[in-house]
Structure 1
Amino acid sequence: MRTVRFVALGDSLTEGVGDPVGEAWRGWAALLADGLAEQPGEVEFTNLAVSGAQSRDVLERQTPAGLALNPDVVSVVIGVNDTLRCTFDIQAVAARLDEVYAAFTAQGATLLTACLPDPGAMLGLPGALARPLARRQRAVNTVVHALSERYGAVHLHAAEGAWIMDRAIWSADRLHPGERGHRQLALRFHALLTEEGVASGVAPSPEPEFPAPTRSASLLWLATAGTGWVVRRCTDLLPQLLRLAADEMRHRARGTSARLDLSASHAVSMALASLSVQQEQPDAA
């Protein structure tokens, strides 16, 4: 039987943060890889995901390396870090994802994608801070949904639902799954790939292999590595997030909050319309 080549692109979620094995991260993609073929040795798995990566990093750095491996299956799960930056631009995110999806599907790879929950809700931020992030994540998810359908991707709905909101599947930082959460992602992707006739191996076990971190260990992580993670991402986001929150409160006071949602929806529509126009131009030439 021919070896199945699986390449994973993305950020810390795909890198495996929250699922430590020894001195390294494992994660959902590695767990999924073992179930793509009847024998684990029949799968060549390469994880190109890097913590902190944005859609630009996936397009400019990870995609060329991934294309060179000529994968049979490729996962592209990205977008949360884009929403956490002051440079957030849904039209740019859409254009990058469109280019990435097109490149891999043109090679004949099976494309895996996912929509994700908004980080503000997961962190339990106050409403005025959480709503702008939620609006951004909804915009990214809408783009991912539309492009996944356009390119025939195997898409996992992981933005909402009882399973994704279960606190037991998340790690101490509330932004990354723990081992149980990574196993749930792998299990659900495997089910979708089995339906498509792509996965032929045994499904990943939903039960953790290792005991969950103790509360003291979780608090220690938050006080050390977790704090550094938050500080790095707040350096450019926090000033803008505070401005967004102030804008949110002004609109709520005036009763015009709906304008913010309409503006975000319009930006998404314009981004997707722009991609459609770009696709039509070569045919018209």
Structure 2
Amino acid sequence: MDSAPDFRSFVALGDSFTEGMSDLMPDGTYRGWADLLAHRFARHRAGFMYANLAVRGKLMHQIAEEQVPAAAAMGADLVTLVGGLNDVLRPRCDMDRVCGLLERSVATLAPACKHLVLMRSPARRGPVLERYRGRLDQLFAFIDDLAARHGATVVDLYASVPLGDPRLWADDRLHLTAEGHRRVAEAVWQRLGYEVGFAWDEALPVTAPPGWYARRGADVRFARQHLLPWIGRRLTGRSSGDGRPPKRPDLAPPVAEE
């Protein structure tokens, strides 16, 4: 820790990935990589403060308009910004607009904090990834350029083969499991220069793939429980985050770990 930055406060911005879905806790709330990271900072720094403004379903314009100004006003030492994926995964996406919103957000946040972290988000391997790979590549190349111009740090999770393993993704196929979030927290921790806790990019053990009937059953459950409701929200212009407040709207000590 001697040569690593001494952060006293941390604000996380974004959507469901940063809110912590689907790292479900016994009380029905979500934990996630940002909470795990905050708890780790708090163990090393007395009086550490943490806010998490992320809300599931938010598009990049909502993050830029609702979360960025609030985060900039907090003056935190560390800020993480992860957004744009919900835009990219929609049938129609104005990539120029998304990139412009990202650029505006970074230009606001970088001078307002000591250290800004951006991410090349993880992606589950499969047909959805291949369908949107061109957009993802464009988004992440732009993020690399933004970071270089504004002195931000990029955590590259997109290149991680293990984080693309379907076994690290929840049944909705959109959000990481608890183990996936644990690996992301460790990846950010190490990228910031702290001591290695474990090999976050280590491959999962080799296991026999599920059989045909198991795969088809999983596909049916996914369609019924997750895909059809998602389509319904898109058709009606609703979002899973409508009316939902930020996870932790103010800087405060992290709650005790479970």
**TM-score of the two chains, using structure 2 as the length reference:** 0.72
| Whole-angstrom distance in 1 between the partners of 2:197 and 2:221 | 31
- The offset of 1:85, in angstroms, is 2.4
C-alpha displacement at 1:161, in angstroms? 2.8
Q: Distance in 1 between matches of 2:98 and 2:129?
A: 20
Question: 1:10 maps to what in 2?
Answer: 14
Q: CA deviation at 1:186?
A: 0.2
The reply on whether 1:114 has 2:119 as its aligned counterpart is: yes
What's the CA shift for 1:150?
1.4
Structure 2 runs not aligned, ≥5 long: 1-5, 201-213, 238-258
> Deviation digits for residues 10-29 of structure 1, max 9, x if unmatched?
11000100101121011000
Aligned to 1:176: 175
Structure 1: state its 5+ residue gaps. 207-214, 238-285
Cα distance, 1:189 vs structure 2: 0.3
CA contact (8 A) 1:35 1:204 kept: no
Decide which structure has the larger Cα Rg and report it.
1
Task: Give the partner amino acid of 2:12.
Answer: A
Residue 74 of structure 1 deviates from its aligned partner by: 0.6
Give the distance between the partners of 1:49 and 1:205, measured in 2 at CA. Answer: 27
| Deviations, residues 193-241 of structure 1 (Å, cap 9, x unaligned) | 1x2xxx58x95897xxxxxxxx9xx96984665245532465389xxxx
Q: Which residue matches 2:244?
A: none
Name the counterpart of 1:148. 147
Whole-angstrom distance in 2 between the partners of 1:170 and 1:18 = 8
Q: Does 1:62 align with 2:64?
A: no
% identity of equivalent residues = 29
CA shift in 2, pair 1:138/1:68, >3 Å: same
Is the 1:86–1:236 Cα contact (8 Å) retained in structure 2? no
d(CA) in 2 for partners of 1:236 and 1:154? 37
From 22, 27, 30, the counterpart of 1:25: 30
Q: Deviations over 1:56-85 (max 9, x none)?
A: 011100112212221110110112101122
- Give the CA RMSD over aligned residues: 3.1
For 2:129 and 2:236, the matched residues in 1 are separated by: 17
Q: Does 1:99 align with 2:98?
A: no
Inter-partner Cα distance in structure 1 for 2:67 and 2:160: 30
State the one-letter code of the partner of 1:174: R
Say whether the 8 Å CA contact 1:3–1:42 is kept in structure 2.
Answer: no
| Gap change, CA 1:3 and 1:232, over 3 Å in 2 | same
Distance 1:39 1:159 in 2: 29
Aligned residue for 1:34, secondary structure, equals helix
Determine if the alignment matches structure 1 residue 46 to structure 2 residue 51.
yes
Residue 88 of structure 2 corresponds to which residue in structure 1? 83
Equivalent residue pairs, number? 215
